[in-house]
């Protein structure tokens, strides 16, 4: 008989990420040796192969790198249309330290302190989402009620 799936907060590698999300905090793995931020969490840093990394608080501020509005969801619990996005999360100067190009590879040469995640853009009509839009994290319930770290346009975008 298959084992019950682990609660997300009990998963060996990613449990702490979700525990933080439950407290409405966004964190990301940061390598203690080369200081690289990376995502998704993995057993070692992809640049220097050190297993000495920890979850560190994120600025929660980023830039929309790409987005797509999904009209046909994979399963019925998702209600279309919704906006999937790749957000470049910027830990340094914002948004000067983010970019709409460049390489954020875990093993890339780029030293900018940014990392990327798949997420939703919420609180914004899908037609208004654009590449380069400044966004901030906002925790919203997913289909099963558990919180997810989505992003919403920053105040500066509302003024624009």
Partner 1 sequence: MIPSVRQRGASLQGVAIAGIGVTRQARQIDGTSAAVCLEAAMAALDDAGFPLAEVDGVSARWPGPGGTVFHPGSVDWSGVFGHGFTWVGDTYPQGAPGLLDAASAIVAGQCEAALVFGGRAGETVGSNSGDSKVAAYTRPGNEFVACWGSLTAAQFALVAQVYMHRFAPDRGRLAQIPATIRNAGTVNPDAIMFGRGPYTPADVLASPMVAEPFHLLDLCLASEGAAAMLVTTLERARDCRHAPVVVLGGSCEWRRQQYVNPPRYDDVYRVGASAMGRALGMAGLTASGIDVFELYDINSFEVVRQFETLGLCGEGEGVDYLAEAGIGLDGRHPTNTDGGLLSYSHTGFSGPTMKIVEAVRQIRGSAGVGQVPGAEVVMATGAGSGAEYHNAVVLGPDR
- Which residue from 10, 57, 78, 158 is in contact with partner 1, where contact means CB under 8 A? 78
**CA distance linking residue 16 with residue 30, whole number of Å:** 13
- Examine residue 71 and tell whether it contacts partner 1 (CB under 8 A): yes
- Which residue from 11, 19, 113, 152 is in contact with partner 1, where contact means CB under 8 A? 11
Q: DSSP per residue over 124-149, as a string?
A: S-GGG--TT-EEEEEEEE-TTS-EEE
How do strand 53-57 and strand 61-70 relate by DSSP bridges?
unpaired
- Window 16-75: residues binding Zn ion (CB under 5 A): 31, 33-34, 36, 45, 47-48, 50
Coil, helix or strand for 98?
coil
- Which residue from 143, 155, 156, 158 is in contact with partner 1, where contact means CB under 8 A? 143
- Which residue from 39, 55, 94, 139 is in contact with partner 1, where contact means CB under 8 A? 39
Interacting partner of 70 out of partner 1, Zn ion, none (Cβ under 5 to 8 A depending on kind) = partner 1
DSSP 2: P
Q: Return the closest-CA partner of residue 15 out of 36, 35, 41.
A: 41
**CA distance linking residue 88 with residue 99, whole number of Å:** 8
Q: What minimum distance in Å lies between the beta carbon of 124 and partner 1?
A: 15
Interacting partner of 31 out of Zn ion, partner 1, none (Cβ under 5 to 8 A depending on kind) = Zn ion
- Examine residue 117 and tell whether it contacts partner 1 (CB under 8 A): yes
- Examine residue 122 and tell whether it contacts partner 1 (CB under 8 A): no
């Amino acid at each position: 008989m298959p084992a019950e799936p682990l609660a997300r907060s009990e998963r060996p590698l990613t449990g702490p990420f979700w525990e933080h999300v439950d407290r409405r905090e966004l964190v990301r793995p940061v390598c203690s040796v080369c200081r690289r931020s990376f995502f998704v969490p993995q057993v070692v840093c992809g640049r220097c192969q050190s297993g000495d990394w920890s979850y560190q608080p994120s600025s929660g501020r980023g830039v929309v790198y790409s987005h797509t509005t999904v009209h046909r969801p994979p399963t019925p619990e998702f209600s279309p249309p919704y906006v999937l996005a790749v957000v470049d999360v910027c830990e340094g100067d914002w948004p000067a330290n983010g970019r709409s190009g460049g390489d954020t590879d875990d093993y890339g040469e780029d030293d900018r302190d940014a990392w990327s995640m798949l997420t939703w853009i919420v609180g914004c009509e899908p037609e208004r989402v654009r590449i380069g839009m400044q966004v901030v994290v906002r925790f919203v319930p997913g289909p099963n009620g558990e919180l997810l770290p989505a992003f919403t346009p920053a105040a500066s975008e509302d003024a624009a």
